[in-house]
Structure 1
Amino acid sequence: MTGKSTMITLNNGVQMPALGLGVFQSAPEETATAVTTALQNGYRLIDTAAVYGNEKEVGEGIVASDVGRDEVFVTTKLWLSDFGYDEALRAFDSSLDKLGLDYLDLYLLHFPFPSAFDSTVAAYKAAEKLLADGRVRAIGVSNFSAEHLNNLIDRTDVVPAVNQVELHPYFVQRRLREAHTGLGVVTQAWSPLGGVNLYWPSAPKAGQSPLEDPPVVEIAARYGKTPAQVVLRWHIEQGLSAIPKSVRAHRIAENIDIFDFQLTADEVAAIDALDTGLRGGPDPDSIKADSFG
């Protein structure tokens, strides 16, 4: 796979770009252009979800980019309202149709459903069938705790390749990342720049951004990089995958321009020290099927 990003090998041998474009909260009318811009700037991972309402535009953006399908790693996610075995298979077909694709690279369960965990297991078993049938290259989960992961693994056959979770300098998720390492699960960060603290009203550091914290600003000045580039490099240095969101062409280009420098161990530690131990976004256990409807 061509592109600017380094690659991460998933637990089934599939190669996934470490850095990609996320499209959460990207308006449909802006999404296609953002995806095209990203692919033309060297991105090869695009992350969307059924509940985002922009899968169709993601597919349009891929086509408009003129980058070959086999060069693009596409992820989408199954929403809770479609958990269950048959429901998940139908929802997958719907997502694939909207994307205009013949297969997916990664299919994730968007959240756990603790109050209906049997349906979570059934949905994941449907994903296992899709994997066995070659309709998706890898499967995984999103927003699962270590307990959720272990409960799922105990009742299914395929260890998730990825767990996509909130992770940024204010919430570094050390224990969960250690659990992932033990299980062979790749940690992928949503809101990798900490932007969730700017749009989620109940965030403990609401209105604050790690991009403005002195350690990040000082490191950025040292390398002639932006604070956002430093924080994204902080993810890459630790073997994490990150999917920053933007619809602005200059930000999209800036966010992937992080593979020409490295942080020292002390610099990584200085950013780690910003950790509050508190998530900025919603508690996964509080999410309901109509939470984003």
Structure 2
Amino acid sequence: MADRRRTSVYVDYHILDLIARTQVSDEALLPEWHAGRSIWDRYRREAVSLVTSVDEMELDFVIQMNRGGLCVTDTFQITDNIDNFERWEGADRADTEHWRAIVELYDQLEVISGHDDLVGEHTHPHYCEQVARVLQDESPVETGRSAATDEETAILRDCAAALHDVYDMQLWADLKHVQYGLNWKVLASVLPRYAHSATLDGEDAALNKNLLGLLNRLVNIGKKSCPRLPMQDRHFDFVLDIVRKKYCQDDIDRSISHIAHCLRTGIDCYLTTDGGLAEKFTGRKQNLQLALGTSVHLEVLRPTELEERLKTA
């Protein structure tokens, strides 16, 4: 448990991602970046306690780095995973350098739970259920999401249908290694059909890296559940459903799980870069207290808000 003589501040992947940056191009994030780095300096001076959950952060790493095309298995192997990824000639060295910086920060955090706990809503179902009920809007589906998801599914379906063109039986039976080069070769052959450039830089970079990450997972699960190629449509649907449920969680769902963990362990503050989430939590905190049947001292703050409070404390 965090040292109660200091303010306990829970951080997630997004906060580490922000602090680890060497520069920030988004002017709106610049004050948060400066504040985040100042809070980190306070942590080094033991003026504040920065904590996280191994279990929840591991899932953050898996989801967020997967969006960059990297397969992370667990937090104990992230460095090895990055090393393996870098051996592929298509790896973005700017991404891998940034990931290493995030891991370095993560290794310095205080831990409030270990691998004895389960992850997400299964760890603390009552808290997760009530936090979700209070914070989630009735219609969380974003405009345009359905069309984007449909295209994503179509691209991955075409990739699955072409796997037998690049994978022989020996490679398909290899459950240990991620074949980034082969998976990218398949994806690159499909992307032009959907008017996307087959490149990992430029305006399609984020989209293509995310698709590569999903394809990597689809292949890994497919190898275990489909011993022979080609993969049938019905089996593709089965595998894609597994991939989406684990690797396509919305940020609000992850925040809910982190907040529930904070409530369960008595943390003072959950730090977030999402100003809307901070405002929503503050505005609905009374509703959450009524739902839980107990007082809630947890606050959800942006780095600038917390830094201002620490200055005047």
Shorter chain as denominator, the TM-score bin is under 0.3
TM-score, normalised with respect to structure 2: 0.23
Structure with more of its chain in helix, by fraction: 2
Structure with more of its chain in strand, by fraction: 1
Higher relative contact order (CA 8 A, sep 6+): 2
- Larger Rg, first or second structure (1 or 2): 2
